[in-house]
Amino acid sequence: MTSLKPKATKQNIAHGVRKRLLAMLESETFGPGDPLPSERELMEMFNVGRPAVREAMQSLQVMGLVEIRHGGRAKVAEPSLGRMVEQIGETMRHLLATSSADLEHLKDARFAFEKASAERAARRRTESDLQRLRNILKLQDEARDNMSQFLIHDREFHRSIAAISGNPIYTALSEAMFSWLADFHIDVVLLPGREQLTLDEHNEILNAIEARDPGRAAKAMHDHLTRANVLYHRTHLSSPDQ
């Protein structure tokens, strides 16, 4: 018997079961919403114990590929970027909680991303896009006395700019970065008493996008985020910015 085994026993049984289940999900036999076989059926199907099946299913749930409900059969979930973001959200929260350096890196990455997003929006925006942005800004203006509501519209403004790209990855990333940073009370853009400044900057971004001027849009976004970040540091840390 040759000792050349390219596969051997990968890690554990559950891992093998997950692979087979993944193959099933990628085949044509299962589509989003379809119910999966019960755990008992699967353990007979794969000749493994229930723990192995449960572990594999649990793993698939964490991956966002199936939806498990107590008492009912698991259903095939529709793969979505939003679910993936949810998947790594808690991990990211833990990472940021234990490493303040990574928090700065994430803020920096968001800068670059939002700038690219604004540039792209300035190139691709349609009339309806502008209409939506204007509406959001109007709602945000009306909510300037309601901090939490004001923040919701702020988030929506950035999200919509990302959405104009037409690439759902942009939207998901915008949404994700915002919520990750918000978890750490870094509202990125907002400070009490500065609502008017935020609104003015948003307006400048909107004008640049309306004018189809990518460079101006990028600069407006950059100034917007930089100003907020500097203010944040001065207020919370009193430490100079790079």
Partner DNA sequence: CCATTATACTGGTATGACAAGTCTCAAACC
Partner DNA sequence: GGTTTGAGACTTGTCATACCAGTATAATGG
Residue owning tokens 């759902």: 168
Distance (Å, whole) CA 226 – CA 230: 6
| Contact string (CB under 8 A) for its own copies, positions 147-186, x = contact | --------------------xxxx----------------
d(CA 128, CA 236): 39
The reply to whether 40 sits near DNA by the rule CB under 7 A is: yes
Asked if residue 19 binds DNA (CB under 7 A), the reply is no
Nearest one of 167, 164, 172, 159 to 121, comparing CA atoms: 164
- Out of 18, 21, 25, 52, the only residue in the binding site for DNA (CB under 7 A) is 52
Stretch that binds its own copies, among 96-104, 154-162, 199-207, 232-240 (CB under 8 A): 96-104
- What Rg do the C-alpha atoms of the chain give, in angstroms? 23
- For tokens 């970040």, the residue is 229
Question: Which of 112, 138 has the CB closer to its own copies?
Answer: 112
Residue 32 · residue 74 · CB < 8 Å:
no
Q: Is 82 in the site for DNA (CB under 7 A)?
A: no
Residue in 21, 39, 137, 221 binding DNA, rule: CB under 7 A: 39
State yes or no: residue 34 binds DNA (CB under 7 A): no
Q: Which stretch binds its own copies (CB under 8 A): 103-111, 125-133, 149-157, 199-207?
A: 103-111
Residue whose pair of structure tokens reads 């968001």 in the numeric block? 110
